[in-house]
Amino acid sequence: MSDDEKRTGYLWNTLYGWVDTGSGGLMPSSVAHGLQPISHHVAHPDTKRRLHELVMSSRLIDHLVQIDAVPATRADVARVHDTAYIDRIDAEGALPKGGDAGDGVSPFGQGGEQLAYLAAGGAIEATKAVLDGTVDRAYALINPPGHHAERAVGRGFCIFNNTAVAAAYALDVAGLDRVAIVDWDVHHGNGAQDIFAESSQVLNISLHQNRCFPADSGFIEENGFGEGAGHSLNIPLPPGGGNAVYEYALESVVIPALEVFRPQLILVPCGFDAGIMDPLSRMMVRADGFRRMTRLIVDAAERICGGKVVFLQEGGYSPYYVPFCGLATIEELAGVSSGLSDAYSPIVGAMGGDELLDHEREAVDAAKVLVRRVSSPATN
């Protein structure tokens, strides 16, 4: 182990590759609407499985500590979701053709609820391993994703909010007082915002493409309620931004907010759908951008919370590019190199997004005001 190398947990389960997203592409297939069935839904699990296979084939896995997923219990999930919602998901999972998390574009197959419990449980196991010191950091390559799932309804391919389940475990079971969530998936982290809106113990920060999904949330003005006032931070970014705007946002808003809040654990709902080849967004982050973002968060975690950080897989829909973005992220987390670099850099490297444009700087500067509203509960 070199000096930079950290004990890094890694979690994947074969069943995460069995998530059944149905025969639609993003909308359900429909003869009347001209929507032809397709073998690969935009969120088909093969994209995530390809990241796992690159972790294996590159031998990066030799530097990682594998953590086993176990299903979350109903009580684990009930810390953040209404029991009526859990009952509905359980009931629909028992139907011959499964059900939908809530918005009509988030189908799951028969037994799909078991995969959702396994994803939430994977988030808990990775968090547990970091908190008990088994590993320094962890990457949980879990599926289905979770960050759009609200207390009473799932949406955006998400059934249970895996990150929120892990945060609630850290607070209620492991006894932590302060957990920060830094959601860099290109879509708004509306789920944790809904679940922890009134909590002063969770600082929920979401960086996302403005009005990408959900189109009606993720604005700077949404800032938390009651005891949670000031503890929901949204940094909406204009389309077209790449490495530069994400780095600027982390350095000028996210990390200063973390320094004030002083979390004991940082959870990173980590999508690669801000990637330059993603079909569901219009941002331009390259693999080296995700590597740099990882470095910034890990360095902040080292300064603030003894390096305790857990990355939890969310979106990312380019089967071509997600594996390279994920490999760069996990390499940087572990402080090792697999010897493989971004195979697409000859194509995507020259496409821009690495200079900070004026309107991008202005969008981030507008969110700086949020840092002043953060407080650390311990200092109240």
Residues that bind ligand 9RB (CB under 6 A): 26-27, 103, 105, 145, 147-148, 156-157, 185, 187, 213, 271, 273, 280, 314-315
Nearest residue to 141 via CA among 23, 50, 251: 50
* Shortest separation between residue 213's beta carbon and Zn ion, angstroms: 7
- Does 185 help bind Zn ion (rule: CB under 5 A)? yes
Look at residue 105 and give the partner it binds from ligand 9RB, Zn ion, none, a contact being a CB closer than 5 to 8 Å depending on partner kind: ligand 9RB
What tokens appear for 374 in the block? 């953060």
Q: What phi and psi, each to the nearest 5 degrees, are found at residue 206?
A: -125, 125
**d(Cα 47, Cα 312) in Å, to the nearest integer?**
15
176 or 186, CB closer to ligand 9RB? 186
* Shortest separation between residue 35's beta carbon and ligand 9RB, angstroms: 11
Q: Which of 148, 187, 208, 231 is catalytic?
A: 148
161 or 199, CB closer to ligand 9RB? 161
| Residue 214: cis peptide before it, omega within 30 degrees of 0 | yes
Q: Residues touching Zn ion: how many (CB under 5 A)?
A: 5
Q: What DSSP character marks residue 151?
A: S
User: Looking only at residues 312 through 341 of this chain, which bind Zn ion when binding is defined by CB under 5 A?
Assistant: 315
**d(Cα 245, Cα 178) in Å, to the nearest integer?**
27
Tell me if residue 148 is catalytic.
yes
20 or 278, CB closer to Zn ion? 278
Nearest residue to 186 via CA among 280, 255, 46: 280
Q: Are strands 232-237 and 265-270 parallel, antiparallel or unpaired?
A: unpaired
- Angle (CA) 194-198-202 rounded to 5° is 85
What tokens appear for 76 in the block? 């684990």
What tokens appear for 129 in the block? 């391993």
What one-letter code names the amino acid at 267? L
Residue facing ligand 9RB at closest CB distance: 315
* Shortest separation between residue 241's beta carbon and ligand 9RB, angstroms: 17
- Does 183 help bind Zn ion (rule: CB under 5 A)? no
* Shortest separation between residue 42's beta carbon and ligand 9RB, angstroms: 8
* Shortest separation between residue 27's beta carbon and ligand 9RB, angstroms: 6
Residue facing Zn ion at closest CB distance: 315
* Shortest separation between residue 148's beta carbon and ligand 9RB, angstroms: 6
Question: 294-332 burial by CB neighbour count: b if 16+ within 10 A, else e?
Answer: bbbbbebbeebbebbbbbbbbbbbbbebbbbbbbbbbbb
Range in contact with Zn ion (rule: CB under 5 A) among 21-29, 53-61, 92-100, 264-272: 264-272
24 or 315, CB closer to Zn ion? 315
Range in contact with Zn ion (rule: CB under 5 A) among 178-186, 230-238, 298-306, 350-358: 178-186
What tokens appear for 70 in the block? 């176990």
Nearest residue to 83 via CA among 152, 11, 155, 170: 152
**d(Cα 354, Cα 346) in Å, to the nearest integer?**
15
Look at residue 103 and give the partner it binds from Zn ion, ligand 9RB, none, a contact being a CB closer than 5 to 8 Å depending on partner kind: ligand 9RB
Range in contact with Zn ion (rule: CB under 5 A) among 183-191, 253-261, 293-301, 319-327: 183-191
Residues near Zn ion (CB under 5 A) are 185, 187, 271, 273, 315
Catalytically active residues are 148
